[in-house]
Structure formats: structure tokens, C-alpha cells
Structure 1
Amino acid sequence: MTRDNSTRARVPTARADPLRIGGRSVAAQLRAGAPGLTRRVLSRLPTELPVYAELPDEELAGDIAEIVQHTLRLFADVVERRLAVGDADLAPQRASAAQRAEEGVPLDAILTAYQIGVEMCWSESTEQARPEELPAVLELFADLLRLQRELIAAVSAAYLEARQLLDGQEQTGRHALLAALLAGESPEAVAGRTGVRPAARYVVLTLALAAHPDEARPGSRAGIAARRKLRRIRQALDRFTGEPALTALDAAGGTALLPVDVAPPWPEVRALIDRAACSAGTAITGAAAIAEPAGIPEAVTRNAEVVRLVRSSGRGPGLYLLADVLLDYQLSRPSAALAGLADLLAPLDRRPELLLTLETYLTHGLNRRATAALLHLHPNTVDYRIRRVAGLTGLSPSHTGDLHRLNAALVARRSLAGGGAGG
């Protein structure tokens, strides 16, 4: 990504006379005033750019000061000899940009710092300009713009090249850490193999993602929409803990591990999933658990079962805990009682409309109007069908004991239809 200016002519184009503004040689003024101007630039940076206030004082007085002075003297050379700027001239700026990238200084702050220096350099050179010196001022302005263009290009390219390398290394490390945790390796083994010490605990998320409407569009647009959806979900997860989440996600969903020091309140985690869904423009059905590194594989397996139960029971999108589906989970375990529970609804096998009405009615809290609206029926029809269910099965949702048995029977039927969950 480094710009190659090696073929650019470096032969000076001599000025007939030194460029003078305010009766003084601009190049000589810049060289003589470089130390003082450097100090003034350095005093502004921490004030206007808080990230520079976080750098060590010795770094500001050392590396940063050297770059400022080098840039000032480079501009003096450009003005005096009208030199085109080449790679060798900007090597210190590129090296500095790569170092700032390693330190995590944002690129916009670095470019703003250069802009502050350029602005102060311009003020220093033109504050005593006379009306008759307008041609010289315009010539200086052109020189300054040319140098600024070269600075921005060189610094941005070096920064992005360094950042890309660092991001690639970090991404490889995160993938290795995620794979080790999902495999159940001990924290000591993970740290020894990946060089990264796992967090004390993680919020383990299993997510099922609905398709964004744009994913149904033809051609490459579907792939772009899927990547956009995943990027927005990852961004929401990263913001939650303030560092990159460990994720293995595709367009249909997957696993995410959020490192935490202490278990966050569940309403906050649920709100996180709601925000991610809103940002991505898609429905998310997920399960969550808190686990230490050794417990992550079991948590992932259990989460997957929770998501399956949630979706098979017709519950809506959102984040669920095992506590939300305890009855479904327990009844999904292999048991001799399952068949007996399922048989409670056998009289409805030839009346699928009654079975559907019952399931919808129970799922929506015995709300006849909501059930009617979802099934496009009159509420009286719902009442009639529920009475028919009671007549055929001997179980009425209006009786508390029967209601529990009906719920259990529906869960048992779903579990047997899905082949069970295993041991």
C-alpha cells in the first residue's frame, strides 16, 4: 500500500529569488522558527486531541516532536528549492504512522494533528504578508497544499497497511482462542497454544438469524446484505464489552462469546440482542448462558437445544434462558412418560384444526381474540373449538391442572416429532 514516488524527478527547480513574505525569506524563517513552532504545535495537540494527551510525555517530546520538526524543515526545502516530495522524504512520517497504528491512535486524530501543524505553519509564514506580496502568498499556498496532499497519502497508506497487518494477527488469534474454548481446552492450554489468556467467564450466545429482506434479492446483492447484517451484529456485540467478541457467525446464525468480569444483568443482555436485531434489520432468536472457559462446550450445546425448543414451540424472536423453557427442556429428555403425555392429545390426531387452535391459544396466554386474529377466525369459533378439545380429550384449559397437562402434552408431541434431544 506504500506509495511509490521513486520515479518522480528530484531535480530542484531553482527560484529566481527566494520566496519572500513580510520582507523575509519564508524558507529561512521556517528553519529558524522550527524549534519554537514545534513547541507550540505540541502544546495544542493534547488540548485539541484528547488521544494525544494519553501518550507518554517523553513520546510527545521525543518521537512526535521529531516528526513535527522534520515536516517543518521538509516544507522549508519544498519552498526554497521547489523539490517534489519523494518516498525518502516521507519515510519518517510513514514510520510514525505505523507506530501510532500499533498504539491504537485513530487515523483521524493523526491526520488532524498534521492539519494543526500545517495551519500553524501557514500562520507563521503569512502573518506579516503585505498586499503587494499576494503572488508570493498564493505560490506558498500551492506549495503547502502539495505537501499536505503528499503527507495525507503517505500517512494514510502506512497507517492502514500497519492496521491491516495488526487486525489480521488479532483476528487469527481470536479465531484460535474461540476454537480452543469451543473444544473445551483448559485456560492454561489455551494460553500456551494461542498466547492469549481466556477471560474468567463468558456470556455464551447461540443465535439464529432470520434473513434480511435484501438477502432475497438476486445476484450479488444478497451476499452484500448478509455481510452487512453480520457486520452490524458484530459491532453491537463488540460495543457491549468494549472489545471484540469471539464469533463464529454466518448468515443463519452461530455462536458468540462475550468476555465479562462479572455476569451482567440479564435484562441488559436481552436489550443487547434487541439492539443488534434492530441495527441489522432482522429477527434474532437466541439463547444465553454464563460459563467459565471449561463450561463453554456444554453451554453451547444446551443453548442450541433452548433455541430449538423456542422455535418449535412458536415463541417469538428474542433472547431466552434455560429457565424460560424448563418444562419443554425437561420433557424433551428421553423418558417413558413422553409417549403417555403425547397420547393425551391423540383424540385430536384427525382434527388438526383443533390441535392448531389449542396450541395457538395456549401460546398466547389463553387470549381468544389474539388467537382468532392469528388464525383468521371469529372469537366465537375459537371458543367452540376449545370446547371441542375439552370434549374429545377430557382436558379443559380453563382448569389449572388440565392446563399444565395440556402444555406438557404439546411439548411431548413436539419432542417426539423432532426425535428427542438426546441424553
Structure 2
Amino acid sequence: MTDHNRIVFGGMPLHLRLGSQLPELTAFVIKRLVDGLDVYNRLPAEELSGDVARIIEQAIRLFLGVLRTGTLPDSAELAIVRESAARRAEEGLPIDAVIGAYHLGAQACFEFVEPEVQPDELGSVFEAHRLLFNYLRLTTGAVAAGYLSERQSMFGDEHGARQALLATLLDGGRSADVAGTRLPPSYFVVSLSIGKHPDETIAGVDPGVAGRRKLRRLRTELDRRSREPVLSMLSADGGLALIPHHTAPASVSLEDWSRLEALAAALSKAAGAPVVAGVVATEPAGVPDAARLAGEVREVAMIYAKPPGIYRLADLLLEYQLTRPSPARDHLASLLAPVAGKPDLLPTLRVFLDTGLNRRQTATQLRVHPNTVDYRLRKIAGLTGLQVARHEDLLSIRAALSALDATKVHG
């Protein structure tokens, strides 16, 4: 039996030499992956320093155990490799790049210590390579198994059943036979708009990978906060989710709505991007109409630049009504037509309203003198006949602004 403490590089057992410089070795391997594999070169920095660095360190530790004992990893130890490969599959990395990373990483480990090898240590080099080939044989198999298993599960029976049920509900179907399960009393139908994660806008980073990572985190959070499986049809910029609920729509409580608001905040945090959503509670048969209304509510929230969160129709009644074409909406929008083309007046009016009619805060935000704010407000009054100091005019001004914003989007 080989004494693996005699696999010596530079006068020290190889497992001790590599283990003593594990952080530096991990960084060295990451650099080799970024330089040698284009897929890894386009990964977000967050992933390289997080998941990728962790699995590299774990893989190195597994190989150090092989060098120390001469024994290959068992199934429990290889589970780490399988789980990491499953995450890469979910993120859409090609399998050849995932497997290639292990081989390139192994090569990098030997490059790291190669300059220290002495002429009389060639026997150690051959023995270390023999162990490495056996180690790679096992880890490559574990990577392939974990990767393919995840890909199959992504498009497997459960996924298919959920998508079939979602399609049936959106088509107005009431039967749950397609899913083999009983429908809940109601659904929260949620139409989502998902902003970009910062990694999606960084030059040199693959936006597709960054978007899929964002979407994976969002889906995980969505499922984690629901008692029953969530039906969803999502992409990197938004989509639709049906969240099962245990009471009829008429019995939805304020506490239930509060939980949805907390969910929206959690989704934004998990995605690392702003999430704006429209939501409607409905019985299963009402899902098609609820999906349309939820989408319209979400669109209204986006038109009026509402902050990230979840919105019901009751939250946006005026704004929603003003987005529906009508003579009244057109008349309201026309009230501000005289100032619509003036570069300073309309922005000043918006800021003045947003600051609660505070001229000094308005001046600070616009970086002008308060007297300039007063002058512009007088100019607006002269052109439109509407004065912000009159309560009845103030209501008309707010409605006119909302109508004007709506006409810019819908015409």
C-alpha cells in the first residue's frame, strides 16, 4: 500500500502543500477558469466569488483527502458535486463548460505547485496524476448525474402538470383532473414586472445567466412563502403567478393583504431588483378575467412610476380610471396642454406636488431659488388658469397630471 505522505512536491507532502495555501489556490483556479472558459468569463462577479468559489474549495478539499488517504470520495462526499452541478443546470450553463471546469481546475492545481517540483520527485508526480485521473473519473460522473437530473426535473412530470393546470385555469377551465389535485377556494393572481439586477447591465457579464440567477432566487422565494405549489409563468422581466389561498375571495382579510405586501418586498430582495405587481383575488373560474385585470393594475402602477410593491385595484382607482380612454380623460389632460411643452414648468409642478406643496423642498430638489419656484407656479397659473393655492384647482391639477401621463402611454 502506497504511503501517500510520500507524494512530495518541493520537499513537502502534496496534500499539506496545497492545503496550506487553499485561499490562494482557489483564487488561482478561478482566474484559470475565467481566462480559459468563456462561459465563466461572463459570469457575474457575485457568482464567481460565491457559489463558484465555494464549490472549487470543496472540490480541492475532496482531492486533498484522496492525496492524504489514497481513497476515492464516497457517494456522500460526491453529493456536494452533484448539487453544485444541479445549480449550474438551473442557471443554464452548458454541461461541457461545467465538466471542463473540473478538468481545467485540476490542471491549475498542478500548475500552482509545478515550479517547486524537484528532479527526484517525478515518481510523486506520476502517482499524484494517477490519483487525479481516478478522482476526475468519479467527479465527472457525479457532475453529469447531477446536471442531467436537474434538467429532467425542470421539465419533468411535476413541472408539466403545473403548467397544464395553469393553462387550463387561464383558459377558464374548472377541472383539476389535469393536475390530479383539488383546486383551492381561491387564487391570488399576481402580474409581475421584474426590473434588472445590476449584474444584467455590467459590460462583459452574460445578462442571460444573471437573469436566470435572479429568476431562480425569485421562484424559490415565491414557493417558500406559499403553503401550496405556486403556478407560475415567468421570465427575467416579469410574468404571472397564481398563489393558492385557503379562503374564498370575499373572505380575504387585511392580514392576508399584508402578507402579500411582505411577499412583494421579499421578492424584490431575493431578486436583487425592483418588483412591481398587480394582484387580484379570485375563485378558480375567474382566473382569466383576474389575470387581465392584474396585468392592467400592474401596468397602471408602472405608468405612474409607483415604488416596488404589490397593488390592488383599490390602491389605484383614480389612476386606473384615467388610463381608460374617454372624453373626460382627454379633457383633463388638455387642462395642462399649455405647459406640456415647457421644459421647466411641468417638472416644477410635479416636484411641488410630490413634496407636499413645499416650495423650499421643491427648490432644493430642482437646485433653484425658491423665488424661481414661485415664478414658475405663477407662470403655470397664467397659462392654464389653475392655481395650486386653490383647493378645487389642486384636485383638478392632480387629476390632469394623471390623465396626461396616461395619454402619453395609451394615446
TM over 0.5: yes
Give the deviation of 1:299 after TM superposition. 1.6
Alignment-derived partner of residue 295 in structure 2: 304
Whether the 8 Å contact between 1:205 and 1:289 is mirrored in structure 2 is: yes
Alignment-derived partner of residue 295 in structure 1: 286
Task: Write the distance in 1 (CA, Å) between the matches of 2:221 and 2:238.
Answer: 15
Whether the 8 Å contact between 1:173 and 1:196 is mirrored in structure 2 is: no
Alignment-derived partner of residue 353 in structure 1: 344
* 2:169 is the alignment partner of 1:178: no
Name the Cα RMSD after superposition.
3.3
Amino acid in the other structure paired with 2:331: G
Alignment-derived partner of residue 278 in structure 1: 269
Task: Write the distance in 1 (CA, Å) between the matches of 2:146 and 2:338.
Answer: 71
Task: Write the distance in 1 (CA, Å) between the matches of 2:332 and 2:239.
Answer: 33
Task: Write the distance in 1 (CA, Å) between the matches of 2:178 and 2:233.
Answer: 20
Give the deviation of 1:164 after TM superposition. 7.5
Task: Write the distance in 2 (CA, Å) between the matches of 1:382 and 1:347.
Answer: 18
Whether the 8 Å contact between 2:297 and 2:311 is mirrored in structure 1 is: yes
Alignment-derived partner of residue 343 in structure 1: 334
* 2:196 is the alignment partner of 1:201: no
Amino acid in the other structure paired with 1:230: L
SS at match of 2:338: helix
Distance 1:226 1:166, change over 3 A: closer
Task: Write the distance in 2 (CA, Å) between the matches of 1:218 and 1:380.
Answer: 44
| 1:384-418: CA deviation from partner (whole Å, max 9, x where unpaired) | 32232122212122322111111221222222222
Identify the range of structure 1 (307-316 vs 226-235) with the bigger mean alpha-carbon deviation.
307-316
* 2:198 is the alignment partner of 1:213: yes
Identify the range of structure 1 (374-383 vs 384-393) with the bigger mean alpha-carbon deviation.
374-383
Task: Write the distance in 2 (CA, Å) between the matches of 1:260 and 1:337.
Answer: 38
Distance 1:265 1:361, change over 3 A: farther
Task: Write the distance in 2 (CA, Å) between the matches of 1:271 and 1:387.
Answer: 43
Larger CA Rg, structure 1 vs 2: 1
Amino acid in the other structure paired with 2:245: V
Give the deviation of 1:241 after TM superposition. 1.3
How does 1:137-176 map onto structure 2 within 5 Å?
A: 168-176=156-164
Task: Write the distance in 2 (CA, Å) between the matches of 1:305 and 1:316.
Answer: 16
1:382 is aligned, of 370, 373, 379, to 373
Amino acid in the other structure paired with 2:273: T
Task: Write the distance in 2 (CA, Å) between the matches of 1:331 and 1:222.
Answer: 36
Distance 1:321 1:383, change over 3 A: farther
Distance 1:265 1:378, change over 3 A: farther
Give the deviation of 1:221 after TM superposition. 3.1
Alignment-derived partner of residue 129 in structure 2: none
Task: Write the distance in 2 (CA, Å) between the matches of 1:178 and 1:322.
Answer: 23
Alignment-derived partner of residue 7 in structure 1: none
Task: Write the distance in 2 (CA, Å) between the matches of 1:252 and 1:163.
Answer: 23
Amino acid in the other structure paired with 1:295: G
Identify the range of structure 1 (260-269 vs 374-383) with the bigger mean alpha-carbon deviation.
374-383
Whether the 8 Å contact between 2:161 and 2:178 is mirrored in structure 1 is: no
Whether the 8 Å contact between 1:177 and 1:196 is mirrored in structure 2 is: no
Give the deviation of 1:320 after TM superposition. 1.4
* 2:392 is the alignment partner of 1:401: yes
Sequence identity percentage: 43
Distance 1:369 1:174, change over 3 A: farther
Whether the 8 Å contact between 2:355 and 2:361 is mirrored in structure 1 is: yes
Alignment-derived partner of residue 234 in structure 1: 219
Task: Write the distance in 2 (CA, Å) between the matches of 1:323 and 1:383.
Answer: 35
Alignment-derived partner of residue 418 in structure 1: 409
Whether the 8 Å contact between 2:333 and 2:401 is mirrored in structure 1 is: yes
Please report the TM-score for the alignment, with normalisation by the length of structure 1.
0.57
Task: Write the distance in 1 (CA, Å) between the matches of 2:235 and 2:158.
Answer: 20
Task: Write the distance in 2 (CA, Å) between the matches of 1:414 and 1:244.
Answer: 38
Distance 1:160 1:217, change over 3 A: closer
Give the deviation of 1:348 after TM superposition. 0.9
Whether the 8 Å contact between 2:268 and 2:308 is mirrored in structure 1 is: no
Alignment-derived partner of residue 317 in structure 2: 326
SS at match of 2:388: coil
Distance 1:372 1:248, change over 3 A: farther
Distance 1:345 1:162, change over 3 A: closer
**Structure 2: 5+ residue runs without aligned partners?**
1-74, 76-140
Task: Write the distance in 1 (CA, Å) between the matches of 2:374 and 2:278.
Answer: 34
